[in-house]
Structure 1
Amino acid sequence: MPADTTAPDAPPDPGTSAQGRVPRSPDLAGVEAGLDALQTQPAPARRGRAALSRLWPPVLAATVLLVVWQAVVWSGVQPLWNLPGPRQVADAVTSAAADGTLWEALSTSLERGVLGFLAAVAIGTPLGVVVARVRWVRVTFGPIVTGLQVLPSVAWVPAGIIWFGLSDATVYFVILMGAVPSIVNGIVAGVDQVPPLLRRVGQVLGAGRVAMVTEVVLPAALPGYLAGLKQGWAFSWRSLMAAEIIAVGGSIGFGLGAFLQQGRELADMSLVLTAILLILAVGIAVELLVFAPLERAVLRRRGLQAETAS
């Protein structure tokens, strides 16, 4: 009978458990526990620190500007009535808020700006897709769209007054002419940056024309589209101010542009600076509350920004 050649059972490895798993050393377990604690840190705490880190730089910049402004006023380069200080402007803001003028102007301009921008998005988005995807349309109308974007929006105000009179239609017309070209060019730029491989993958998976645009091209072109939206909002807001400053009277209402023009007519520099600061504040608020979070979300989804930086 042949001898049993099976090797005797080897003694168990002291580092191996009965189930064959290698137990973790206390040091390794402590390191992993620490990493788990970092990864499971409460989300509100992370968001709070991230919000604070984004908040203090603008606050610091505003403080520095106020100090410089007050120093210039104290230097006496201009008389106080011609260059009021922060205190005089704060008094003007309080007075305008008390009599309702500030809130009327702010609400009127915000309503016009938001509605005009949404209309520009609704018109500019499909136009941008057509210009980006149809070659003959791009070759024919692409330079015209770019020229309209370069054209100052204020140039459309006289034409709008002649066509629509002193009414809100003039304001919205100027907003659309200023914002739509920027949105169109933003989509075109975003579509041009979509890798051809994504389109080929969509074709292999059987995506039709509509699915190719809605499920492949537009999601991939989202960063460029978002940049076009930001620029479109900037042009909307600037166009609105130009229209409100020039087109005064009739049924056009009282907005921030009319508020600024009123300060000029009264030679009240405090009112002028109040209107300017309100226009600036709206622009900053829209950037910080709307577009900045959208940009961070897009970057995170593409792995271009760390989660903890949000």
Structure 2
Amino acid sequence: MNASLLRWIPRAGSLLLCLVFWQLAASYHWNLLLVTFSNVPTPLAVVQAAVGLLDSGKLGEHLSASLSRIFAGYVAALVIGVSLGVVIGRSKWAEDLLLPPLEVLRPIPAVAWIPLAILMFPSSELSMVFITFTGALFPILLNTIHGVEGVDPRLVASAKSLGAGRWAMLLEVILPGAAPSIITGLAIGMGTSWFCLVTAEMISGQFGIGYYTWESYTLQNYADIVVGMLLIGVLGMGSSLLVKHLGGFFTPWQRPQGKA
């Protein structure tokens, strides 16, 4: 049997065990110390809610709204985060000037940005894109800085001795050397951008997966809440895996080490 196929057996088994536990806990209303499953819907109820969402025709609107906000905010964070990361990683002057205010802004959670974003931008759509942007920016920025600072100085010295100019140094030494860290930051940033988008949609959205989840909570449609949560998890995981695979495609010289 193919080795990659063999790896899927324990993965599928772990998911199956989680489903069995969920079914038993929700069906028999288990109370486990501080956690109660009395109001948790069963997997079958969640499947029925998902079918109902598909039949309503609103799934496409929710998905397109969330994906468009993610794409806009993430692309902006990618461009600005990588650019600033390279500049800060290569220049002590830029690090002293730019990094302190960015470090002050970095710990602020997405929900704290929402009132200010609503005041700053003329539409709720732009404010949600901005919150998504802030979520993705800092993982991309910090990993880019780490990757640029971690480039072997001997490679830089060798390139200079061979007459490499500033742009050749950047494109042929710095960016390839920092690429693994940058790709890691891009994958993490994609996950955090989903988290921040859902927070924004719960308050300011009219369509979107986060809005659907919050609306389901206010209407006490518990199975729909789980549908929204699972959609967020699947979309976030899928988009992060896509970023990692694209990163591996564009950096074929960087092969991951095998695991025992």
| 1:295/1:72 CA distance change after superposition, 3 Å | farther
* SS, match of residue 221 in structure 1: helix
Residue 147 of structure 1: aligned partner:
104
Alpha-carbon distance in 1 for matches of 2:245, 2:106: 23
Give the 5 Å matches for 1:161-310.
161-248=118-205, 253-292=206-245, 294-295=247-248, 298=251, 301-305=253-257
- Any stretches of 5+ residues in structure 2 without a counterpart? none
Query: 1:57 Cα deviation (Å)?
Result: 4.1
| 1:295/1:116 CA distance change after superposition, 3 Å | same
Query: 1:274 Cα deviation (Å)?
Result: 0.7
Amino acid at match of 2:71: V
Alpha-carbon distance in 1 for matches of 2:48, 2:38: 13
| 1:304/1:171 CA distance change after superposition, 3 Å | closer
Amino acid at match of 2:165: G
Residue 82 of structure 1: aligned partner:
39
Alpha-carbon distance in 1 for matches of 2:166, 2:6: 44
CA contact (8 A) 1:116 1:175 kept: yes
| 1:80/1:146 CA distance change after superposition, 3 Å | closer
Query: 1:144 Cα deviation (Å)?
Result: 2.7
Amino acid at match of 1:183: I
Alpha-carbon distance in 1 for matches of 2:3, 2:179: 24
Residue 24 of structure 2: aligned partner:
71
* 1:98 corresponds to 2:82: no
Amino acid at match of 1:231: I
Alpha-carbon distance in 2 for matches of 1:289, 1:254: 24
Alpha-carbon distance in 1 for matches of 2:146, 2:37: 48
CA contact (8 A) 2:202 2:210 kept: yes
Alpha-carbon distance in 2 for matches of 1:80, 1:97: 26
CA contact (8 A) 1:149 1:182 kept: no
Amino acid at match of 2:74: F
Query: 1:91 Cα deviation (Å)?
Result: 0.1
Alpha-carbon distance in 2 for matches of 1:218, 1:112: 28
* SS, match of residue 301 in structure 1: coil
Alpha-carbon distance in 2 for matches of 1:183, 1:140: 19
| 1:158/1:303 CA distance change after superposition, 3 Å | closer
CA contact (8 A) 1:171 1:240 kept: yes
Mean Cα displacement is larger for which, 70-79 or 262-271? Answer: 70-79
Query: 1:149 Cα deviation (Å)?
Result: 2.6
Amino acid at match of 2:141: V
Alpha-carbon distance in 2 for matches of 1:161, 1:95: 33
Q: Which structure has the greater CA radius of gyration?
A: 1
| 1:114/1:60 CA distance change after superposition, 3 Å | farther
Alpha-carbon distance in 2 for matches of 1:87, 1:185: 43
Alpha-carbon distance in 2 for matches of 1:303, 1:51: 17
Amino acid at match of 1:175: T
Amino acid at match of 2:58: T
Residue 156 of structure 1: aligned partner:
113
Alpha-carbon distance in 1 for matches of 2:222, 2:41: 7
CA contact (8 A) 2:136 2:192 kept: yes
Alpha-carbon distance in 2 for matches of 1:210, 1:177: 28
| 1:63/1:246 CA distance change after superposition, 3 Å | same
* RMSD (CA atoms): 2.4
- Any stretches of 5+ residues in structure 1 without a counterpart? 1-47
